[in-house]
Amino acid sequence: MNIGQASAASGVSAKMLRYYEEIGLLPKAARTEAGYRVYSAKDVNTLRFIRRARDLGLSIERIKLLVGLWQDRERSSADVKRVATEHVAELDAKILELTAMRDTLQELADACHGDHRPDCPILHDFEGGGRSPEHRGTVTKDVRRGKGAAAGLPAGCHAG
Amino acid sequence: MNIGQASAASGVSAKMLRYYEEIGLLPKAARTEAGYRVYSAKDVNTLRFIRRARDLGLSIERIKLLVGLWQDRERSSADVKRVATEHVAELDAKILELTAMRDTLQELADACHGDHRPDCPILHDFEGGGRSPEHRGTVTKDVRRGKGAAAGLPAGCHAG
DNA sequence: CCTTGACCCTCCCATGGTGGGAAGCTCCAT
DNA sequence: ATGGAGCTTCCCACCATGGGAGGGTCAAGG
């Protein structure tokens, strides 16, 4: 099985296959004399595992952990569960953050008549005078962006 | 006002001030003879506007639009509202996506006893046999990652 | 006046996953 | 033998942000 076939069988692009190998998520694939990568049915299983994990938004780092546990017959399910639970917690945090943004913005949009006139509560809020505090404060606390979010959650986030 | 003071007054890092100028979100700042950037109180207002918009998760592209509308006395509030509403729609989509991931993973975690034994429904699902469909299908549809999400939503997403 | 330290400048690099594409080789079918 | 599909490596881009190197500037205190 060459890379194109493994890709088709697993739903992981050839590009990503090479990338996962490069970063050590996958072991280095065997090669033909000509240098073509060769994959087995077992490799395809691993790839499907990875694909499923990515679809659930897990980061590559966590998938590395899970693949390790998966292949360890001595693993304890508690370790697996912990990884999953950590990810759920991050998803929850991100959902809360996005929901707060959404709600604030929806409120502002609702307050905007949306006609030809220039007057607009959205811009008024952004101007940040803070003169209408009832429309502020929702996301104002410094939950702000930072490595945590970018490194932790992503996958589904950068995804598209 | 130099860049450090403008940064402190607006809550936007000096690094980002330079970046926003580079990508054309801000006009090129005036300079002292020594080459130091100089900012006015008006600039700080714009920066606060941008900061607020970023906190609500708007992409730089959309913020460019909003700043343009903000500074246009002839604008119609409908245009502003449309930009905001588009962003709300993207936030909603992302929230749905993350929630689906979260729910699936939480179900799997709930089903995992989490003790010393190796048997684990999470790994079982990831193995993807599809043998227990009641735990599948939630995120299985190909909503998958792609340019749209990365370009559209971000801010709060990459943020941290 | 000179030193010190805080500040500023530009330029490069990294993040996390993913896609795009160029330049060149291999394989298979015609 | 030729064409095209598929493989290889290598570099670039995304988005927004932070980190840091290497060097210039400014103001306060000695």
B11-69: pLDDT as tens digits = 999 999 999 999 999 999 999 999 999 999 999 999 999 999 999 999 999 999 999 99
Alpha-carbon span A79 to A53, nearest angstrom: 16
Question: What is the predicted pLDDT for the residue at B151?
Answer: 33
Q: Which residues of A touch B125 (CB under 8 A)?
A: 52
Alpha-carbon span B118 to B55, nearest angstrom: 43
The amino acid that residue A40 corresponds to is: S
- Please report the sign of the dihedral spanned by the C-alpha atoms of residue B60, residue B61, residue B62, residue B65: positive
Average model confidence (pLDDT) for chain A? 84
Question: What is the predicted pLDDT for the residue at B147?
Answer: 33
Residue at shortest CA–C1' distance from C27: A34
Alpha-carbon span B143 to B159, nearest angstrom: 22
Q: How confident is the model at residue B9 (pLDDT cuts 50, 70, 90)?
A: very high
- Quick check: B148 pLDDT over 90? no
Q: Is domain B3-55 annotated with CATH 1.10.1660.10?
A: yes
- Quick check: A149 pLDDT over 80? no
- SS3 state of residue A115: coil
Residue with the two structure tokens 């930009």? B83
- The pLDDT tens digits for B71-129 are 999 999 999 999 999 999 999 999 999 999 999 999 999 999 999 999 999 999 999 74
Q: How confident is the model at residue A147 (pLDDT cuts 50, 70, 90)?
A: very low
Nearest chain B Cα to A136, which residue? B52
Structure tokens at B83: 């930009």
- Stronger pLDDT, B151 or B95, i.e. the higher one: B95
Nucleotide nearest to B156 (CA to C1'): D16
Nucleotide nearest to A145 (CA to C1'): D17
Closest Cβ–Cβ partner in A51, A55, A109 for B85: A109
- Annotated domain spans of chain A: 3-55, 86-156
Residue at shortest CA–C1' distance from D19: B15
Optimal mutation site among B55, B125, B136, interface A, most CBs of chain A within 10 A: B55
Cβ neighbour number for residue B111 with a 10 Å cutoff: 17
C1' of C3 to CA of B34 (Å): 21
Alpha-carbon span B88 to B122, nearest angstrom: 33
